A and B are shown apart, each in its own frame.
Chain A
Amino acid sequence: MNLLLAFLLIGSTANAANDVKDVAPIIQQAAKAHVASAKLSSDAALTRLDNLLHAQYGSRGYLRAEPHPTLRARYQQAAWLLMNGDVIAGGTLVSLARQHPAFAKSPAGPALASFVDRMLTPVSDMPELTVLADAGRRAQRKLAGLPYPLITYAQLHAFGILYNDPVAIDAGQIGLRALQPSDRERLLITGVLDDCRKALAAAKAMAEAHADD
């Protein structure tokens, strides 16, 4: 499983006594603001991802033909996010789908999970991804003392910054606003987010520096 997204499994259940305890609808709410700027429509994204999973990951089925309605809806949303570059938000939805009891029997689910597992894995020719992964680990360490679900949204925001994912950033902000952290918690989170912005800037400079490799 993609360790980067594993943190969002902490307490991410569908038992939503408080609306923001369930991350999936918050991500969907955040995504609505980015529909106009998306390069791919929902249908095009789903087709592209289905083709990719078939060609490269040996998928046994199609996401658009997923028999379970909840998983199908989640796959569709995740496909739109992933193919439009919102890798944290999309990957989070896939991580949540993996927890669903019906996932084990999902024909296309395992291939989708393999794809998400490979995303953002530091590769030898993109050293900036190592910079971002290290920054992500530092952020997780600093935020570790926060209570659930505040920690979930703080990390969603932080990783959204690191991986240039505006939907994840917005989802994180929505959750944080709803949870109203204390002054001390807000100070901690703000510091972490600033660190993430610096790390992204450093990663961008590194990527531009070796663009010809």
Chain B
Amino acid sequence: MIKRWWRDLLMVGGLLLTATTAESACLKIPAPSQLITSTFGWRFHPVFKTWRMHRGADFRAPIGDTLTAAHGGVVQVSFSGSGGNEIRILGEDGVVVRYLHLTRALVSPGTRVQPGQQVALSGNTGHASAAPHLHFEVYQAKQAVNPEPLLCPAPGRKAGADKVNGFPVLACNPEGGSCQNVGTLPNVGSTQGAGTTTASTASDASPTGLSIESFDDMSANEILISEIMKRYANPDWITRLNEYGAPEPLLQEMAHMDALGAYLKVLMRDSRERREMLMANRLARQTQADAALRLSRQRALAARAAARGDH
């Protein structure tokens, strides 16, 4: 009987251990919305007719949402032109999670965090387009994997999260190639995924390489959101640039702001000229209308005078 009791205890303990292990193997959902808006996988680009890998899952996250650590580990902080402000959490099991497009980190580099601890504020820095969101990546052995099945509890999905531009998101590249090895973890602060915007590229060292024409293809909305808001919403923007150590990011930031200021002056001048022209046209039309009215009255008076004279 004692043996059976002991056996039952071991079995229950084993079950508990399994449950705990399974729970600790789960990643916590990093965004309070708990809603995936775009899934991991291959997406068709309707303009360039190519399939491109989306190496993470996007979560609904308006600017300023508090994001939490998906697992425990050491924090790294980074920035890239395309990903914007970024943090990574390096777990002791080799799993790395990556949060992109942040407004700012809430923890310093090197901090050891626990699962569920507040680590960052969401935003739309980098090439996040007009819609802020959290782009969340998971790497196992430095290879990108689908985060969704690793999250506990399972997050919800927005309707259409598995479609982009009408086409379904695919698990494997339909143009051939392996379904595995979809992407490796880029180095911290590297230009991979960084593009050519300021402060992140090492290839364009000239601080005078920017001109106001850079903004020609951006709408006013894009300029406001991407160029102004991401700096305004992130009080650590300049501090982070300075942390790179080299002067180029700060010099490029100065050139970028000068170019943006010049461009906005041109826009304002054009707007003023247009307003003045419209006002002048309006005044001219009004003057013409007044003159026509006076003329018609004079003619009417003359006609009446002529009629009295006939009689």
Chain A residues proximal to chain B, CB less than 8 Å: 52, 55-56, 85, 87, 115-132, 134-135, 162-164, 198-200, 202-213
Contacts and interface: CB of A to CB of B under 8 A. Distances in A.
B173 interface: no
A186 B49 CA distance: 30
B99 to A, nearest CB: 12
A210 B48 contact: no
B30 to A, nearest CB: 16
Given A56-B168, A163-B47, 5 more contacts: A129-B165, A206-B195, A207-B45, A209-B194, A213-B126
Chain A to chain B: the 9 pairs with minimum beta-carbon distance, closest first = A209-B195, A212-B193, A210-B82, A127-B129, A134-B219, A202-B217, A124-B131, A118-B166, A210-B127
B47 A129 contact: yes
B129 A126 contact: yes
Nearest to A201: B217
Given A52-B168, A118-B160, A206-B127, A128 B183 contact: no
Contact of B52 (A124, A200, A209, A211): A211
Contacts of B163: 56, 118
Nearest to A117: B166
Nearest to B160: A118
Contacts of A85: 46, 49
A212 B216 contact: no
A120 B129 contact: no
B128 interface: yes
A115 B166 contact: yes
Contacts of B219: 130-131, 134
A124 B123 CA distance: 12
A164 B48 contact: yes
B183 A212 contact: yes
Contact of A209 (B38, B81, B183): B81
Interface string B173-190: 000000000010010000
Contacts of A206: 127, 195
Nearest to B81: A209
B83 interface: yes
Contacts of A204: 48
B197 interface: yes
7 contacts: A52-B168, A118-B160, A123-B165, A124-B133, A125-B164, A127-B127, A210-B127
Nearest to A198: B217
Contacts of A208: 195
Interface string B128-151: 111101010000000000000000
Nearest to B195: A209
Interface in B14-60: 37-38, 43, 45-49, 52, 54-56, 58
Contacts of A205: 196
Contacts of B197: 209
B9 interface: no
B192 interface: yes
Contacts of B38: 123-125
A116 B166 contact: yes
A128 B47 contact: yes
